[in-house]
A and B are shown apart, each in its own frame.
Chain A
Amino acid sequence: MNGGDAVLGASTGLLLLAIFGSLWVALGIYWGRKAKDFDGYMLAGRNVGLALATATAMATWVTSNTIILAPKFALQMGVWGMLAYSTASFGLFLFAPLAKRIRELMPKGYTSGDFIRLRYGRAAWAVFLVISTVYSMAWLVSMGMAGGIVLQALSGIDYRVGMSVILIVCVLYTLFGGLYAVIGTDFLQSILILIGVVVVGAVVLLKMDIPEWHSTLLAQQPALLDVLMPVALLALFNNLFFGFGEVFHNNVWWSRAFAMRQGVPAKAFFLAGLFWLPIPIAAGFIGLCAGSLGIAISDPDMVGPQVASQVLGYTGAIVVFLVVFCSLASSIDSLLAATADLLVEDVFRKMILPSASEALCRRVSGMVIVILGIVTWLLCLPRLGDLITVLFLSGPLVASAIWPVLAGVYYRRASSSAALMAMILGSTVGLVFYFWIGWFTASLISASLSMLVVLLGMWITPGRFDWSTLGSAEEQNASAIESKT
């Protein structure tokens, strides 16, 4: 399915892109007017309520990979494949108490990098910034590529055109509206995603002869219903740790915790996890239907859109198109904003120009958003590798950051040297396992090794961290920014 047998015409696809792209940009500009200062632009005024907070956490976590890879997992690894993808929601559940603690420790905090620098020092901070930037770029590129591929498959729009339009739309509204625009559009996008997933899933389920479907699966692909399928079980635990690593370390989630009103973060992340949990199953099970429906799958990455288009026809293709567009936009905008925050706050303001005024920081933030968009576009252009390779390569890196973050937030005994070693060793050995055995072991090994190093460090070279330094340093930081306006 490469666009030649697309259900929607290119003109319909371009019309949908134009309508929704213009809507997101217009709303981004409208909501962005609320951003009167740098805190407003970067953190939406630190006063986001429960509804928008829940929706933004959920929509950001629903990526095009969720919509595209969940059916592929089901196709290749059966029932446990889609359940494996669902375990990524545990990252949001476990981040709920963490977000509450972060908000208490750093009421004026800006980024996850700020925390690592104040908690573990500059060496660990540098490694953390490398991990976080590599992961954010991998996530951005995997979504840019997914956007181009899926839009081409559904509507026949050329890969480069679809990918470029999505990136331009997201860059524009993030640039004009900052986090206000990101969070506002995330709410509408989350509603569209949830409704779209339910509509497509329900229609496919109603069209299936369920007993016959089950007996066909049992007869033709019994491994897909095997609850002890080894690769699927490894994938389940690997995804679990990959999800923890992604959420615990990345500034996308930390910036949201800082943006939410006091008392909101724990509830918002818990509800977001709850609403996210069923999406990989609701979107993924249609991958299991391909064989029974007699649909020949030419590209496993396309099994979801292909089944939806065949079963629902033109309308189904429009719904899938919109769900994919929303899931892409809701994640790309968040990544652009949060990665720009990380680079402006941790690199520009901390390393290059500590005396930078608020107005200059905002201008630089805009420039960084545009540069990130251009770099992503350039990396997406050659269409290298498949979706899973691009994203899962960063799995061992982020999994190595789970324990340094977790121990750093809760235990004063967690030491800087152990955190540094945990991230370096976990990432290196995890990458070795990625290439030696397979992606489904990399995050598991990385997180386990990192845990061992952090726990040994707490026992052998315990630190005695003073929590109050986090709050006071951030208070000074925020005052410094305000005084330079």
Chain B
Amino acid sequence: MTFGLWFLVGIIVASLVLSGLGAMILMILLWRDRRNKSIW
């Protein structure tokens, strides 16, 4: 495995993980806003 390969796979996996985390965090934020009655 060369640096180029690690770099390529690394940014792809990181981007997929961050996108998945994004969806989860949005749901958590919505739950928090709902609990605080501050969605709108």
A residues in contact (CB < 8 Å) with B: 34, 44-45, 47-52, 54-55, 58, 79, 83, 180, 187, 190-191, 194-195, 197-198, 201-202, 205, 210-211, 214, 218, 225, 261, 271, 274-275, 277-279, 281-282, 285
Contacts and interface: CB of A to CB of B under 8 A. Distances in A.
Interface of B: 1-2, 4-5, 7-9, 11-16, 18-20, 22-23, 25-27, 29-30, 32-33, 36, 38-40
B19 A282 contact: yes
A327 to B, nearest CB: 13
Given A197-B19, A278-B15, A55 B26 contact: yes
Contact of A54 (B9, B11, B29): B29
Which 4 residue pairs across A and B have the least CB separation, nearest first? A278-B15, A275-B22, A51-B29, A281-B15
B4 A214 contact: yes
Residue of A194, A205, A277 ringed by the most chain B CB atoms within 10 A: A194
A75 to B, nearest CB: 15
A274 B5 CA distance: 24
25 contacts: A34-B40, A48-B40, A49-B40, A50-B32, A51-B39, A79-B7, A191-B23, A191-B27, A195-B23, A198-B16, A198-B19, A201-B15, A205-B13, A210-B5, A218-B4, A261-B38, A275-B22, A275-B25, A275-B26, A278-B15, A278-B19, A279-B19, A281-B12, A285-B8, A285-B12
Contacts of A187: 26, 30
Contact of A210 (B9, B16, B27, B39): B9
Contact of B40 (A44, A281, A282): A44
Contact of B39 (A52, A54, A205): A52
Contacts of A202: 16
B12 to A, nearest CB: 5
Contacts of B38: 49, 261
B6 to A, nearest CB: 10
Given A45-B40, A210-B5, A214-B4, A278 B26 contact: no
A191 B21 CA distance: 11
Contacts of B18: 274-275, 277-278
A211 B12 contact: no
Contacts, number: 100
A282 B12 contact: yes
A79 B3 CA distance: 14
Contacts of B1: 211
A117 B29 CA distance: 36
Contacts of A52: 30, 33, 39-40
Nearest to A285: B12
Query: Main secondary structure on chain A at its contact with chain B?
Result: helix
A79 B19 CA distance: 18
A437 to B, nearest CB: 29
A287 B5 CA distance: 16
B4 A225 contact: yes
B37 to A, nearest CB: 9
A240 to B, nearest CB: 17
A51 B38 CA distance: 9
Nearest to B32: A51
Contacts of A218: 4
Given A195-B20, A275-B25, A278-B18, 10 more contacts: A52-B30, A201-B15, A205-B13, A214-B2, A214-B4, A218-B4, A275-B26, A278-B22, A282-B19, A285-B8
B33 A49 contact: yes
A54 B26 contact: yes
Contacts of B9: 210
B23 A47 contact: no
Contacts of B26: 51, 54-55, 187, 190-191, 194, 275
A423 B27 CA distance: 41
Contact of A51 (B14, B22, B33): B33
B16 A205 contact: yes
Given A48-B40, A214-B5, A282 B15 contact: yes
Contact of A201 (B8, B16, B27, B36): B16
B26 to A, nearest CB: 5
Contact of A198 (B5, B14, B23, B25): B23
B28 to A, nearest CB: 8
Contacts of A271: 25
